[in-house]
Structure 1
């Protein structure tokens, strides 16, 4: 008999009878038939478990059962189920959870469309003891940076069996977070990762499960997750130390641990404008440069100020006094053009990394440059940005998102401590663009992409740059632990012109119509109730149309 496409791995231990029966039924009623269910009982002490498993195996030859003589824990049981598998792919199903009836069919269709895929994951929700569905998790497409700070792919995970075996299966060193460790190892070598944006897995909320009890139930699992991510960073050369969030056990943070400090060129365009900052009039560029030099821990930097013809001479003199040998002043002639100023500054700079910075920025995070270099040093990264706050502390930028090709800032004007959906503002993640008000990119990438497009003199030059990088297969990174103040649009007209949006969409609408780091069920970064009701139906409806929304300047 030909091997099935899917081997569903389910370690079992003392599962309540009704819950176990429902789990089995969710597999047996799958519309897609090429599967086997590998049940590995980890020496359950409740007699009903053996009876139910034996009966299931007797009624369906695709259900295979092994009974362990002694308990070996979740990793041992998972590896026991893996050893039983003969399918091309393995799907991970906990003994108390449920598959959507169409789960394997949708995943199989995704594989048919991308035969080289090595890892797939779906959306999920939770199911209460009374059978109510709640807490839908509508996920983005593959985001390596997010995966390091949040185990967001979770359920349903489907992995190519040959790759799982290559990495050694489930590692007992990471008991409790063995799935996170396995996915990290597999995706380090995966040819392709695919997200199926449908709720195809229902995670049951029992008192003994992490879905309901969190860290109180499985404290060891969260510590194991931290160690798994640290091991991943060490394997991949990411110069970071992993720390747990002091409040939310499901969030990790990466602290930079650079082995060296490559030269960073901070390019600041200015016209020497004045503005009130916290009730005191300041020259913005002077305030910005002073903040960089006084509040940054990074040493190996140069500051390249590209100044317009209207810049007062006394401002330049004050900059020389503050900046000393680290400062380079570059004159710019002509009408304001942010792209032209940045490109000129890049030509006149010497750094391995370019840091584009508005003159209305103030440093808040001391190691902000280290944080950017930590990511920018990675070959797969094209641009890095952080969390920007207005002067009163409200959110201004947490990455640029798209709705139907229109760029904008989710949660703009919200309180700084606003978490967003699924901790959107608190976790490192990938997005299609970050603002040019504070953006780092490697010089080699900047040269490869041709710098900023002169077609965008004021708005969207940063977005266009990031989209060029993304098109080349490079990731755009948002780091929530890099926090800066942004006294926004002090040096330019804040209004976005219609022709600017039209030009951006002429170039990039095909790529941005459906933001890969959003989800069809989200609007403005938040779930729509109607979409959730549709996804959990027996037959999910078609993808919902995107809603138009207001957009703002990205810088």
Structure 2
């Protein structure tokens, strides 16, 4: 992957992490190590800063080996419990003066080099508010190629399916309703101007609300499928959306969720591929309406 970056932009990568160990490809891995290793490969194209935001109960020396490699480019912050994703990423973004901020889950592992510079190149366009990447599950099926609003919910396009050469929304660059905060790039000034992530949405739907707010402020949200990474989703946190979270996002977006939205022809949402952003959304709704 090549880009046209004329100079080395400064990029702060904000990683909320508990430094947990999980099984990947049949063996235990500390996921943040793979994430950071992938970032090191990108340090020749950008002026890289890494900000890890740890839960308060994670020992401060957990990332010592990365301090030795990154030196002053690694900043470690401590976030009070209970876990609040939005608060963590806001804390990280507030701690940097970099031109760009990449919000990145610790269970992300790059697949090919050049993705970070490519995302930065799109994020520097003045009317672009956020850029997402194509994320795959461990089995190489799709986790994320953009959000869509339809049928009263926010969806990941074709989650759980294989990348299809005949589906244009699996490839290239396109405008979408939203992108996952598991890998979201933007200029730091936009994060400041927008007010950051809504900390009342501590776990689920914070990225849906954030991208909706960016679009209301006149920015485009772009999905860059040429930037491809693994996302070992839910290996580092519990799954499930609470009913108050569902009600909160429905209250915020209202009729926007009835869709299809401006970027999603209905033909792109075949019934068998309608996966909610929270995989537990349909289960939660079934519990409510069948109890």
TM (norm. structure 1) is: 0.48
Displacement of 1:268: 0.2
CA contact (8 A) 2:110 2:230 kept: yes
> 1:405 touches 1:508 (CA, 8 Å); kept in 2?
no
3-state DSSP class of the match of 1:493? coil
Q: Does structure 2 conserve the Cα–Cα contact (< 8 Å) formed by 1:343 and 1:452?
A: yes
Q: Secondary structure at the match of 1:329?
A: strand
SS at match of 1:355: strand
Aligned pair in 2 of structure 1 residues 335, 303: CA closer, same or farther (>3 Å)?
Answer: same
- 1:264 to 2:11 alignment: yes
Q: Which residues of 2 match residues 342-421 of structure 1 at below 5 A?
A: 342-416=89-163, 418-419=164-165, 421=167
Aligned 8 A contact 2:157 2:274 in 1: no
Find out whether 1:284 has 2:34 as its counterpart: no
Which residue number corresponds to residue 500 of structure 1?
Answer: 245
CA distance in 1, matches of 2:21, 2:5: 36
Report the more deviating stretch, 338-347 or 288-297. 288-297
Residue by residue over 1:384-408, the C-alpha shift from the partner in whole angstroms, topping out at 9 and shown as x without a partner, is 0010011221111000112133112
Matched, 1:552 2:284: no
Task: Compute the TM-score of the two structures, normalised by the length of structure 2.
Answer: 0.89
- 8 Å contact from structure 2 (residues 15, 52) kept in 1: yes
Equivalent in 450, 454, 469 of residue 199 of structure 2: 454
2:71 corresponds to 1:324: yes
Q: Does 1:430 align with 2:183?
A: no
Structure number with larger C-alpha Rg: 1
Shift of 1:281: 1.4
Give distance in 1, aligned partners of 2:160 and 2:43.
26
**For 2:269, which of 491, 513, 525 is the aligned residue?**
525
**Structure 1 counterpart of 2:288:** none
Question: 2:149, 2:188 → 1: CA distance?
Answer: 27
C-alpha deviation, 1:337, in angstroms: 0.1
Pairs within 5 Å for 1:86-105: none
Number of equivalences? 278
Q: Write out per-residue CA displacement over residues 448-480 of structure 1, whole angstroms, 9 at most, x where no aligned residue.
A: 110000110001111111111001111000011
Tell me how far apart the structure 1 counterparts of residues 201 and 166 of structure 2 sit (CA, whole Å): 31
Describe the superposition over 1:133-183 as per-residue Cα deviations: whole angstroms up to 9, x where unpaired. Answer: xxxxxxxxxxxxxxxxxxxxxxxxxxxxxxxxxxxxxxxxxxxxxxxxxxx
Structure 2, gaps ≥5 residues long: 280-291
Change (3 A) 1:321 1:405: farther
Alignment partner of 1:336 out of 83, 87, 110: 83
Once the two structures are TM-superposed, the CA of residue 295 in structure 1 deviates from its matched residue by 5.5
2:43 and 2:157 mapped to 1: Cα distance? 28
- Give, in angstroms, the shift of residue 343 of structure 1: 0.6
**Runs of 5+ unmatched residues, structure 1:** 1-253, 529-546
